[in-house]
Amino acid sequence: MENNNLPDNPYLLLTPGPLSTSKTVKASMLRDWCTWDEDYNLNIVQEIRTRLTHLATSRDELYSTVLMQGSGTFAVESVIGSAIPSHGKLLIIANGVYGMRIIQMAKILNIPYEPYILSEVNLPDIENVRTLLDKIPDITHLFIVHCETTTGILNPVREITALAKQYNKTTIVDAMSSFGGISMDIYDWQIDFLISSANKCIQGVPGFGFIIARKDELVHCENQSHSLSLDLYDQWKTMEGGGKWRFTSPTHVVRAFLQALDELEEEGGIERRYERYSRNQRLLVDGMLRIGFTPLLPDFMQSPIITSFLSPQQEEYSFVKFYNLLKENGYVIYPGKISTANTFRIGNIGEIYPVDIEMLVETIHRIKFW
Ligand SMILES: *Cc1c(COP(=O)(O)O)cnc(C)c1O
């Protein structure tokens, strides 16, 4: 869907969010909404909640979606700060920045936790997780990131949650950068709390996150929150009352999100979007290999969301110069974020098509200054 009366963006964002959105998503924000009647609460907020639950599972009667103001981290913190009781313990699997952030949260919130930390280029080992669950029986909850956006690695969530369920643990999955871009049924995947946000694969603009959770788990969150504004249970109960938010809701962002959901449907749903992202990612890696770059991860670990490449070794190379030249030519990329290698990252989610990736590779080849 295109609206050619609207101005073009000066560049494409090849980043993992905020990302490039369609003109029609941006255009849907050009009006104001009141927040106490059906136009907004019922036709937009409740509609979004119902659709998200349905996108996540065919067993949608067992789950409910809670929208939470703020960036994705706020939604994660609302789950971490609301779901683990004082006698509980959280097993945190971390192989990147977003896993490590949960350790920081647990420390600040005084939540008992057990870290399982890996390097950014390693997948968690099922047998190591089993050993931890055997050795530490007071673990009640398990946290894992699906696509670790730090590198683009795709963690084996389904295997890990299946194991956690053998031990009767509650499962919390950060699917921030994958939900909407990779198919999953969270009932089959045995996920109790799934967290994502508006500005990733659904292709909305930033301003809120969402939690799709089992209702029987949400009920347990009552009176457990370490925060007033991030109280997941309270937010859920209030929203259940006709789509009301407890505090000011980001109305324009929410309206744009509904437009983004319509456009996901128009594209053919998550499967079709996954195919587009996968084609983008394949073209990117093949093209970059052709012009002399090396991806950080082997193919079997790689998500179709974002790819890390090793920085060129030549002395003349500088990321800032590379970044600025690319930006002048219409593309914004991302610096690397890992401790063991010099990298940069290129995301391929958002309103990005194979032709954009082909032109990007051509442009990189043309501006190469090292
Ligand atoms: C984007 C992202 C988040 C949230 O980051 P914010 O900057 O708070 O939006 C969390 N986890 C992962 C894996 C992400 O990609």
Q: Per-residue pLDDT tens for 71-89? A: 999 999 999 999 999 999 9
Say whether both 187 and 312 belong to one domain: no
What pLDDT, on the 0 to 100 scale, is given for residue 149? 97
Domain boundary among 249, 265, 281: 265
* Residue 340: domain span: 270-367
**pTM of the model as a whole:** 0.97
* Mean pLDDT, the chain, whole residue set: 96
Cβ–ligand 1 distance for 176 under 6 Å, the answer yes
Which CATH number do you get for residue 308?
3.90.1150.10
Give the C-alpha separation, 171 to 192, whole Å.
Answer: 5
DSSP-derived secondary structure letter, 8: P
Q: Is the peptide bond before 295 cis (omega within 30 degrees of 0)?
A: no
What pLDDT, on the 0 to 100 scale, is given for residue 115? 98
Say whether both 97 and 226 belong to one domain: yes
Cβ–ligand 1 distance for 199 under 6 Å, the answer no
Tell me how far the alpha carbon of residue 354 lies from the centroid of ligand 1, in angstroms. 25
* Nearest-atom index, ligand 1, CA of 197: 9
Cβ–ligand 1 distance for 72 under 6 Å, the answer yes
Tell me how far the alpha carbon of residue 193 lies from the centroid of ligand 1, in angstroms. 16
Q: Is residue 141 part of a domain?
A: yes
Tell me how far the alpha carbon of residue 292 lies from the centroid of ligand 1, in angstroms. 30
Say whether both 219 and 353 belong to one domain: no
Strands 170-174 vs 63-69: parallel, antiparallel or unpaired:
unpaired
Q: What is the DSSP string of 185-249?
A: -TTTTT-SEEEEETTSTT---SSEEEEEEEHHHHGGGTT--S-STT-HHHHHHHHHTTS--SS--
Cβ–ligand 1 distance for 197 under 6 Å, the answer yes
What pLDDT, on the 0 to 100 scale, is given for residue 4? 58
Cβ–ligand 1 distance for 96 under 6 Å, the answer no
Tens-place pLDDT, residues 273-314 = 999 999 999 999 999 999 999 999 999 999 999 999 999 999
Which CATH number do you get for residue 256?
3.40.640.10
Say whether both 219 and 306 belong to one domain: no
Say whether both 242 and 358 belong to one domain: no
* Nearest-atom index, ligand 1, CA of 209: 9
1: how many CB neighbours lie within 10 A of its CB? 12
What pLDDT, on the 0 to 100 scale, is given for residue 1? 45
Domain boundary among 265, 291, 322: 265
Tens-place pLDDT, residues 134-166 = 999 999 999 999 999 999 999 999 999 999 999
Q: Is the pLDDT of residue 6 over 90?
A: no
Q: Is the pLDDT of residue 226 over 50?
A: yes
Place of tokens 């969270």: 186
What pLDDT, on the 0 to 100 scale, is given for residue 3? 54
Say whether both 155 and 284 belong to one domain: no
* Domain count within the chain: 2
Say whether both 311 and 240 belong to one domain: no
287: how many CB neighbours lie within 10 A of its CB? 17
Q: Is residue 120 part of a domain?
A: yes
* Nearest-atom index, ligand 1, CA of 149: 15
Q: Is residue 16 part of a domain?
A: no
Cβ–ligand 1 distance for 174 under 6 Å, the answer yes
Q: Is residue 319 part of a domain?
A: yes
Q: Is residue 217 part of a domain?
A: yes
Higher pLDDT, 4 or 272: 272
Say whether both 252 and 292 belong to one domain: no
CA separation (Å) from 150 to 24, 153, 163?
Answer: 30, 8, 25
